[in-house]
Amino acid sequence: MIDLDSLTSSGQPLAFFFDLDGTLAELQPRPEQVFIPAETLAALEQLARRYAVAVVSGRPLAEIDGFTAPLRLPAAGVHGAEWRDPQGELHRVTLDGEVLAQVGQRLEAVLGDHPDLLLERKSVAFALHYRQAPEKEALVHELAAGIAAEHPEFKLQPGKCVFELKPAAASKGEAVARFMELRPFAGCLPVFVGDDRTDEEGFAVVNARGGLSVKVGEGETVARARLPSVVAVARWLQDLSRDLAPHYKQGD
């Protein structure tokens, strides 16, 4: 299915980057209903014993940690706007507090009239979910695009039934590139697995470094490999971790 052997044949170690929603975890009607299955977490933990592993998500770091607990991996949250480096140090893109408050008020004012739309506030970003009301996609898009046009510090990030306003300086590609500067990621061949449009920037960085980009599900992509579903990702991870098991003692 995915040929990691050709990558590992070079002898260069691998580094893994995983998106969370729609990759490690199935999408759910509401974002707070999402969870990573126990078997997937166990496989991730085994993988992290042997390789550099990071989670790169649109979720805030605190939520990522909640999903992977008790495992605490290097991670980038809010599409790279906040991240914890391999040494455990936190970094965050900052935005003007007044602008954040203004934008938040404006979004609340509009979404107050639409109880089937969900406004998710993140530290330096806003997510407008319309999964419960797909017919309102155009309305949400217009609102978010209008704010992004007025406030260049924000970039419009479309996703699955969501439009996000994220800091313009943040991207998953940036996040991957930053991790690749640091041990234990530096010098590794990167593997990035993701399902959504925000992941395309991560795929591009990985492709440029000769690594393996893996798109989950259908849709146009620059990724070089594909897994059909979250279930397929879980199986692949479990196969990988089983293959690793005999090598633990040598690696540690």
| Residues with a known catalytic role | 19
In whole angstroms, give the CA distance from residue 150 to residue 107. Answer: 14
- Closest approach, Cβ 22 to Mg ion, in A, equals 4
Of residues 134 and 251, the one with the C-beta less far from Mg ion = 134
Tokens 């897994």, residue located: 227
Of residues 100 and 176, the one with the C-beta less far from Mg ion = 176
Q: Is residue 164 part of the contact set for Mg ion (CB under 5 A)?
A: no
Length of the chain: 252
Tokens 């879980």, residue located: 234
- Closest approach, Cβ 130 to Mg ion, in A, equals 16
Instruction: Tell me how crowded residue 160 is: count the other CB atoms within 10 A of its CB.
Output: 15
In whole angstroms, give the CA distance from residue 106 to residue 94. Answer: 20
One residue of 2, 14, 15, 21 binding Mg ion per CB under 5 A:
21
Token representation of residue 31:
């974002």
Of residues 46 and 157, the one with the C-beta less far from Mg ion = 157
List all residues 6 or more positions away from 59 whose beta carbon is below 8 Å from its beta carbon.
Answer: 20, 21, 31, 67, 77, 78, 122
Beta strands 162-167; 125-129: pairing state: antiparallel
- Closest approach, Cβ 247 to Mg ion, in A, equals 30
Q: Per-residue x/- mask for Mg ion, residues 195 to 214, rule CB under 5 A? A: xx------------------
Q: Is residue 80 part of the contact set for Mg ion (CB under 5 A)?
A: no
- Closest approach, Cβ 207 to Mg ion, in A, equals 18
Q: Is residue 22 part of the contact set for Mg ion (CB under 5 A)?
A: yes
C-alpha 118 chain-centroid distance: 20
Beta strands 212-216; 189-194: pairing state: parallel
> Which listed range, 11-19, 75-83, 136-144, 178-186, lies at the site for Mg ion (CB under 5 A)?
11-19
> Which listed range, 4-12, 104-112, 189-197, 228-236, lies at the site for Mg ion (CB under 5 A)?
189-197
> Which listed range, 13-21, 90-98, 100-108, 176-184, lies at the site for Mg ion (CB under 5 A)?
13-21
In angstroms, the first-to-last Cα distance of the chain is: 28
Q: Is residue 174 part of the contact set for Mg ion (CB under 5 A)?
A: no
- Closest approach, Cβ 249 to Mg ion, in A, equals 35
List all residues 6 or more positions away from 100 whose beta carbon is below 8 Å from its beta carbon.
Answer: 124
Of residues 143 and 162, the one with the C-beta less far from Mg ion = 162
- Closest approach, Cβ 12 to Mg ion, in A, equals 27
Of residues 195 and 200, the one with the C-beta less far from Mg ion = 195
129 sits in which H/E element: strand 125-129
Token representation of residue 15:
């580094």
Site residues (CB under 5 A) for Mg ion?
19, 21-22, 195-196
